[in-house]
Amino acid sequence: MKNLDDIMAMAQNVQNELTKAQAALDTIEVEGVSGGGLVKVRASAKGRIIGVAIDDSLLKPEEKGVLEDLIAAALNDARAKADAASSTEMSKLTAGMPLPPGFKLPF
Protein backbone atom coordinates (compact mmCIF):
# COMPACT_ATOMS: atom_id res chain seq x y z
CA MET A 1 0.00 0.00 0.00
CA LYS A 2 2.99 2.28 0.44
CA ASN A 3 3.37 2.58 -3.35
CA LEU A 4 -0.15 4.00 -3.63
CA ASP A 5 0.64 6.48 -0.86
CA ASP A 6 3.81 7.50 -2.73
CA ILE A 7 1.87 7.97 -5.96
CA MET A 8 -0.77 10.08 -4.20
CA ALA A 9 1.96 12.20 -2.55
CA MET A 10 3.62 12.75 -5.93
CA ALA A 11 0.29 13.74 -7.48
CA GLN A 12 -0.28 16.21 -4.64
CA ASN A 13 3.18 17.68 -5.18
CA VAL A 14 2.50 18.08 -8.90
CA GLN A 15 -0.79 19.81 -8.13
CA ASN A 16 0.93 22.16 -5.65
CA GLU A 17 3.59 23.05 -8.22
CA LEU A 18 0.92 23.74 -10.84
CA THR A 19 -0.89 26.01 -8.40
CA LYS A 20 2.34 27.95 -7.81
CA ALA A 21 2.96 28.19 -11.57
CA GLN A 22 -0.57 29.51 -12.13
CA ALA A 23 -0.01 32.21 -9.49
CA ALA A 24 3.30 33.17 -11.10
CA LEU A 25 1.57 33.65 -14.45
CA ASP A 26 -0.42 36.50 -12.96
CA THR A 27 2.80 38.45 -12.34
CA ILE A 28 3.93 38.34 -15.99
CA GLU A 29 2.61 41.25 -18.05
CA VAL A 30 2.01 41.18 -21.81
CA GLU A 31 0.66 43.79 -24.22
CA GLY A 32 -1.63 43.24 -27.20
CA VAL A 33 -1.60 45.91 -29.89
CA SER A 34 -4.01 46.67 -32.73
CA GLY A 35 -4.56 49.44 -35.23
CA GLY A 36 -0.85 50.02 -35.67
CA GLY A 37 -0.50 50.86 -31.98
CA LEU A 38 -3.68 52.94 -31.69
CA VAL A 39 -5.24 50.43 -29.27
CA LYS A 40 -3.25 48.56 -26.61
CA VAL A 41 -4.43 46.02 -24.03
CA ARG A 42 -2.20 45.07 -21.09
CA ALA A 43 -2.85 41.66 -19.53
CA SER A 44 -1.25 39.16 -17.21
CA ALA A 45 0.00 35.91 -18.75
CA LYS A 46 -2.84 34.25 -16.86
CA GLY A 47 -5.28 36.29 -18.96
CA ARG A 48 -6.36 38.97 -16.47
CA ILE A 49 -6.85 42.30 -18.24
CA ILE A 50 -4.84 45.04 -16.54
CA GLY A 51 -5.61 48.02 -18.70
CA VAL A 52 -6.62 49.39 -22.09
CA ALA A 53 -5.14 52.37 -23.94
CA ILE A 54 -6.85 54.02 -26.91
CA ASP A 55 -5.17 56.72 -28.98
CA ASP A 56 -6.90 60.09 -28.68
CA SER A 57 -7.37 60.23 -32.44
CA LEU A 58 -9.97 57.46 -32.10
CA LEU A 59 -12.32 59.26 -29.69
CA LYS A 60 -13.20 62.41 -27.80
CA PRO A 61 -10.31 63.06 -25.41
CA GLU A 62 -12.56 64.08 -22.50
CA GLU A 63 -14.24 60.62 -22.55
CA LYS A 64 -11.03 58.62 -22.95
CA GLY A 65 -10.65 57.47 -19.31
CA VAL A 66 -14.27 56.36 -19.03
CA LEU A 67 -14.09 54.40 -22.29
CA GLU A 68 -10.84 52.70 -21.26
CA ASP A 69 -12.31 51.65 -17.91
CA LEU A 70 -15.47 50.34 -19.57
CA ILE A 71 -13.52 48.32 -22.11
CA ALA A 72 -11.31 46.79 -19.40
CA ALA A 73 -14.38 45.96 -17.30
CA ALA A 74 -16.16 44.35 -20.25
CA LEU A 75 -13.10 42.27 -21.14
CA ASN A 76 -12.73 41.09 -17.53
CA ASP A 77 -16.44 40.27 -17.35
CA ALA A 78 -16.19 38.21 -20.52
CA ARG A 79 -13.11 36.44 -19.17
CA ALA A 80 -14.87 35.62 -15.87
CA LYS A 81 -17.89 34.25 -17.72
CA ALA A 82 -15.64 32.18 -20.00
CA ASP A 83 -13.83 30.76 -16.96
CA ALA A 84 -17.17 29.90 -15.30
CA ALA A 85 -18.41 28.19 -18.45
CA SER A 86 -15.14 26.26 -18.73
CA SER A 87 -15.43 25.16 -15.11
CA THR A 88 -18.99 23.99 -15.68
CA GLU A 89 -17.96 22.00 -18.74
CA MET A 90 -15.00 20.42 -16.92
CA SER A 91 -17.34 19.42 -14.09
CA LYS A 92 -19.56 17.65 -16.62
CA LEU A 93 -16.56 15.78 -18.01
CA THR A 94 -15.27 14.65 -14.63
CA ALA A 95 -18.68 13.92 -13.04
CA GLY A 96 -18.46 10.17 -13.61
CA MET A 97 -14.78 9.81 -12.83
CA PRO A 98 -13.79 8.39 -9.44
CA LEU A 99 -11.30 11.15 -8.55
CA PRO A 100 -9.97 11.61 -5.00
CA PRO A 101 -11.21 14.68 -3.08
CA GLY A 102 -9.39 17.84 -4.09
CA PHE A 103 -8.04 16.29 -7.30
CA LYS A 104 -8.40 18.73 -10.18
CA LEU A 105 -8.15 18.36 -13.94
CA PRO A 106 -6.41 19.39 -16.09
CA PHE A 107 -3.12 18.65 -14.38
pLDDT tens-digit readout, 1-56:
568 888 888 888 878 877 777 777 778 888 888 888 889 998 888 778 888 888 98
Evaluate the CA torsion angle 103, 84, 106, 43 in order and state its sign: negative
Q: Which CATH number fits domain 27-94: 2.60.40, 3.30.1310, 1.10.3470, 1.10.287?
A: 3.30.1310
Nearest CA-CA partner of 42 in 55, 33, 51: 51
pTM above 0.85, yes or no: no
pLDDT of residue 107: 47
pLDDT tens-digit readout, 69-100:
888 888 888 888 888 877 777 676 656 656 66
At 105, the pLDDT band (50, 70, 90 cuts) reads low
